[in-house]
Amino acid sequence: MFSRITGIGSFLPGEAVSNDDLARRGIETSDQWISSRTGIRFRHLAENGETSSDLALEASRRALAGAGLAASDLDLIIVATSTPDYIFPSTACLLQSKLGNHGATAFDVQAVCSGFVYALTIADKFIRSGSHRRALVVGSEVFSRILDWSDRATCVLFGDGAGAVVVEASEQPGILATALHADGAHHGILSVPGSVCGGQVTGDPFLRMDGQAVFKFAVRVLAEVAEECCRAAGISPADIDWLIPHQANIRILEATAKRMKLPMDKVIVTVDRHGNTSAASVPLALDEAVRDRRIQAGQKILLEGVGGGFTWGAVLIEL
């Protein structure tokens, strides 16, 4: 038994917020400063009270419609998020309730920007084991809630959004290979080093990042895990039709493609319009490329992510 993606959906909240819009809000920055360093020109920001499960709900409904399924058909729901609605219950359980599903296995995965790749790999293992047949895998984030808007080195990079896929058991392989890794020794270069204790915030509740260290680490491991995943599938990186990396920074995407000896016209890029949406970035980019018909049936697509932890991974799929 294999697993295959049968439906894809995504959702971006509100209107696009430009770099100039951020400058008008009082952030000491400019379109030239942001775009020249990151490639980012726009991002979407959730309204007050709009949660990760709200964004996930819209993306999930679209993915289910694409698969021709009802929520009641699902027996597994996995949500990848670093910005859950609550400490508990899980965002997956809250999404399950909003969808009207009763009884499916539901849980969250916390691997930050690698979260969707981790969650998709887990769903593949569940389905291939024979224990489950229809999974909903979602990456959903409201990173705007954990940004220090006085820190222009980080606040301009991130956006909010959600992407979802339906994964079903199939006699034909759709998920061809996976590879996951983590190394907690690097936790200090990207983290939100705070928590809640006794009703009070302890530590620092905002995202903090060593940008140069993240860049060097990300480019190396993204290229390595892509090659590892291709080897597992018995192909070379040159055989990939499309690369969809985590959308963090255009320079990381370009450097990764260069190390893999892939032309940029094989790389799906949405960071310019979405910013870094963490666990949502890969499914958002996948959905866009499927909808605009760049991705065609039978093509091989490599999805990969790297995020705080540090975590990284890749999934090779064929739609």
What CATH number does the domain containing 117 carry?
3.40.47.10
Q: With 0-12 CB in 10 A as exposed, 13-18 as middle and 19+ as buried, what is 105?
A: middle
29-46 pLDDT tens trace:
999 999 999 999 999 999
Based on the fold, state whether residues 162 and 274 are members of the same structural domain.
no
What is the pLDDT at residue 258? 95
Judgement on whether residues 56 and 109 belong to the same structural domain of the protein:
yes
- In this prediction, residue 151 carries a pLDDT of 94
246 a catalytic residue: yes
Statement to judge: residues 114 and 200 lie in one domain:
no
User: Is pTM, for the whole model, over 0.95?
Assistant: yes
pLDDT per residue over 297-318, tens digit each?
999 999 999 999 999 999 999 9
The verdict on 286 and 190 lying in the same domain is yes
Question: Which neighbouring-strand residues pair with 164?
Answer: 9, 138
Domain shared by 150 and 121, yes or no: yes
Question: Which of 113, 155, 229, 230 is an active site residue?
Answer: 113
Quick check: is 276 catalytic? yes
- Same domain? 23 vs 139: yes
Compute φ and ψ for 233, nearest 5 degrees.
-90, -5
Catalytic residue among 132, 246, 249, 274: 246
Total structural domains in the chain? 2
Do 142 and 86 share a domain, yes or no?
yes
Shared-domain flag, residues 73 and 159: yes
- Active-site residue, from 19, 101, 249, 276: 276
> So what's the pLDDT on residue 92?
98
| Domain shared by 200 and 232, yes or no | yes
Q: Are 282 and 295 in contact (CB under 8 A)?
A: no
Same domain, 132 and 279: no
Quick one: 167 and 114 in the same domain? yes
Residue where a domain stops, chosen among 172, 194, 219:
172
Quote the CA–CA distance of 300 and 295 in Å, as a whole number.
9
Among 114, 142, 172, which residue terminates a domain?
Answer: 172
119-157 residue pLDDT tens: 999 999 999 999 999 999 999 999 999 999 999 999 999
- 273 and 252 within one domain: yes
> How is residue 301 written in tokens?
């697509």
Domain region containing 121: 2-172
At 143, is the secondary structure helix, strand, or coil? helix
48 tagged catalytic:
no
Pull the structure tokens for residue 199.
């009703």
> What pLDDT, on a 0 to 100 scale, did the predictor assign at position 81?
98
Burial of 209-239, coded b for 16+ CB within 10 Å and e otherwise, reads: beeeebbebbbebbbbbbbbbbeebebebee
